[in-house]
Structure 1
């Protein structure tokens, strides 16, 4: 552990302590709303965002959402994910060079989520526009302070307001005319006589945009970069298709899209040998925990055969990432299709690659690739 004087917070770095913090929501709260600037357009988000909730509120909301967003629902998306990948790559069929983010990594998860929610195809672009505004990080520096956050929230508030209004109307339409989609299942989900309010569903849809979209976009781009930067990896994956799943886990360990999670100490506690008072802000660093030599052999080696691989990229405990199964499924299908379509896929020059703001997410914004078709 170490104390960051400039930002007035403790940084938790080793795997064991990070895992312990994430597994104890009673002592280390996920509810950081008291620290965030007030912004009325984001209040609806918070009502359905169980990532920022503690038990028992977290438990009841996640149980309701889990009724609708089941493992069977996720696995049932596989054929459609394959079809969308094929459709997107058909659009660049005559290109020997294209931007992998624009062509595949960015639109794929947005289309899948929009279809899952029952959003008409002609309106999928709205979700792409909102996601672009919400997660660009253009208003933030690499170490944002409260003033930076306030400016960023004000800048993206109009997009949030527009998305809230759209999703709320979509929910009301589905209440009147239920369909075979996730929105309709969320409306009908019930636990102990309790159902989700419309505002809670809006907040969950916003969460799904994060869990199901930006994580997948970052994972796909990071995988292509990691495979390209480690010669022999692509050939090994082609020779042994069974390596793809562990390779994806190694990409997640190597480049976690969200490398740190905030927690607020709820009572005086001793952590890492330090006495921390109630109200202390902790940042649990998943990135450093994922390279802890006490937990990983040769942690600075990118090894697609690594087993076991207990990385913390998707969190730990009750807040384990709700969108993890969908992100893994989309990455596995997309990367396999890229291998089938292209005999080689390489990054011709990293001077043309642009990255996301690391204060928001670890990933690429532009990733030009050159391909040779199979």
Structure 2
């Protein structure tokens, strides 16, 4: 009589979440080398770090559901209802279909490119007025540009840059509030009340006067009001971080690789490569959750039904089996897909808007109008997070 044994589940009990905001990449490298699918007790979930495994998860939404229990509960609590990001098809597809026309490349080029350029030029003047001894790229440019672009895309008439930044920070904190911190919920609830009050005014307006904004598209997409509101708040949550952090990340990376900065300044056709390499190398969205609907074996590791999973795309984007010299920033590397915007049916709906607003406009404009733009070592920079990661302070200088 022969018996088969169940493979052992790799356990990464050495992972220290408190150390990851400073620099998560040493942790990712060890996970990739030792156990690309591993149970992490300190996080209470399996972390999936290899490119192949992350792609496999996204290609099988019947097995790896976006409707996760823990994370979905805090997200729904933060936003007031479950948005499309935490739904599988066909529910997800129906809501996604409503906003897709607004975010197609042709529509973005015709309607939104001038808006993105106007917003970038407006805040470039704010940055310039700060002067090369006091300017902070995140505070004075990247954050405000990302916020104003989002206000315009959503059609949130009456909202200001400070409102958008406050709302986004509050919703993101609420989404991650697994420990039920009452102060986080207080800020999140206040933000939700403000956005809901604004939508109470705007939804009737868009019913009568449709336009090309995301909120108008959701209103006319047949969604009930709670779903319209949840998806507007979802866009507020996620639509600021990636473009904001790619602006600062690209400038930070080019400042540390002056040879590559010189190359792109001599050949502006390379700016899209700067954008893609920044998203791969610094991955503003580091991880997102999934949950198994049935027992499954993922890259040789058995997972039970209901297993909480962290899809660590920031690690996958530095997988040495896919990317040559993965820890190097290299705008000349061969063009190949990365997972900075996710993949599969949940590929970020705003990825073309980010490529245009940041890769074609916000970052090139900075370098064209501020000769010698560079980070300023006289003043401290600051990084934050690993689930969402980026520079929260980036002092810059230029040749006055």
| TM-score normalised by L of structure 2 | 0.83
**1:269/1:57 Cα in 2 relative to 1: closer, same or farther (>3 Å)?**
same
Going from structure 1 to structure 2, the CA distance change for 1:61 and 1:344 (only over 3 Å counts) comes to same
1:92–1:42 Cα change, 3 Å = closer
Paired residues of 1:30 and 1:264 also in contact (CA < 8 A): yes
Change over 3 Å in CA distance of 1:121–1:81 after alignment to 2: farther
- Structure 2 alignment gaps of length 5 or more: 1-36
In the TM superposition, residue 233 of structure 1 has moved relative to its aligned partner by: 2.1
Q: 1:70 aligns with which of 94, 104, 119?
A: 104
Corresponding residue for 2:220? 188
Partner of 2:136: 99
The alignment status of 1:263 with 2:290, answered yes or no, reads yes
Q: Is the 8 A contact 1:41 1:160 kept in 2?
A: no
Q: Which residue number corresponds to residue 120 of structure 1? A: 157
Contact 1:342 1:372 in 2 (8 A): yes
Matches within 5 A, 1:180-259: 181-189=213-221, 195-259=222-286
* Cα distance in 1 for residues equivalent to 2:234 and 2:178: 22
Q: Which residue of 1 aligns with 2:52?
A: 16
For residue 29 of structure 1, the aligned residue among 45, 65, 75 is 65
Q: Which residue of 2 aligns with 1:111?
A: 148
**Runs of 4+ with deviation above 6 angstroms:** none
CA contact (8 A) 2:72 2:86 kept: no
Query: 1:297: Cα distance to partner?
Result: 1.1
Q: Does 1:130 align with 2:167?
A: yes
Distance 2:58 2:103 in 1: 23
2:191 corresponds, among 149, 152, 159, to 159
Q: Aligned pairs, how many?
A: 360
Q: Who is 2:92 aligned against?
A: 58
- In the other structure, the counterpart of 2:392 is 365
Q: Extract unaligned runs of 5+ from structure 1.
A: 190-194
Q: Which residue of 2 aligns with 1:331?
A: 358
CA distance in 1, matches of 2:210, 2:315: 46
3-state SS of paired residue (2:290): strand
Secondary structure of 1:115's counterpart equals: helix
Superposed CA RMSD:
2.5
Query: Would you say the 8 A contact 1:168–1:199 is kept in 2?
Result: no
Single out whichever of 287-296 and 163-172 deviates more from structure 2.
Answer: 163-172
